[in-house]
Amino acid sequence: MSTLLENLNWRYATKKFDATKKISTEDLNTLKEAIRLSASSYGLQPFKVIIVENPEIREQLKAAAWGQTQITDASHLIIFANDLNAGPESVDAYIKNISETRGLPTEALAGFSDMMKGTIANLSQEAKNIWTAKQTYIALGTLLSAAAELKIDATPMEGFSPASFNEILGLDKLGLNASVIATVGYRHDEDDAQHYKKVRKSQEELFITI
């Protein structure tokens, strides 16, 4: 646990990445697996994760992120896109996955399936989109912790135009919306932010025990 806390204290929102340093395939696969194993409501994972390596596309995305250099200088750009069409079909696919993974008949999962479908059906479109977007933030948090464990720098970013990202990547045609992004790679020696002391609320200020 002490190592985890040390790694979380080590990480920060990197402002300047070293464009010459790339994440190894092995480490990238570890980050992808950490995202895959992340918690989500019901375990439904109502989102997709897009990893952008193409430099030309990243230049376009940079313009849609107000010119922030992390978009192009980081080793990889990771986009979490929430599902705008989560519904019965999503639940059916998930139930099928549970059945095959755990060797259970789908009939045994009917109650769970009906409960999920009923809950989602009762949400307005806006509420459903907010719910699926929240799931991407849970996965983002897992990515940040996993990256810190590997001593890979990661910067969560909301400073971009989702509509422009959706258009550039064709996400709107897939029923997806760019919810939040993260740039991952290695800090540049000239990034002054790495030397700043981490500023957080004290435990006494942050926590309320009842």
In this predicted model, what pLDDT tens digit does every residue of 87-132 receive, in sequence order?
999 999 999 999 999 999 999 999 999 999 999 999 999 999 999 9
> Domain range holding 51?
2-206
**CA-wise closest residue to 35 among 187, 180, 198, 188:** 180
Q: What's the structural domain count of the chain?
A: 1
In tens, the pLDDT along 38-66 reads 999 999 999 999 999 999 999 999 999 99
Residue 1 has pLDDT above 80, yes or no: no
pTM for the complete prediction?
0.96
123 burial level (CB within 10 Å; 0-12, 13-18, 19+): middle
Q: How far is CA 178 from CA 34, 106, 115, 192, in A?
A: 20, 32, 28, 29
Give the confidence band of 160 by pLDDT, cuts at 50, 70, 90.
Answer: very high
Write the CATH number for 115.
3.40.109.10
Backbone dihedral region for residue 16 (phi beyond 0: left; psi -120 to 50: alpha; all else: beta): beta
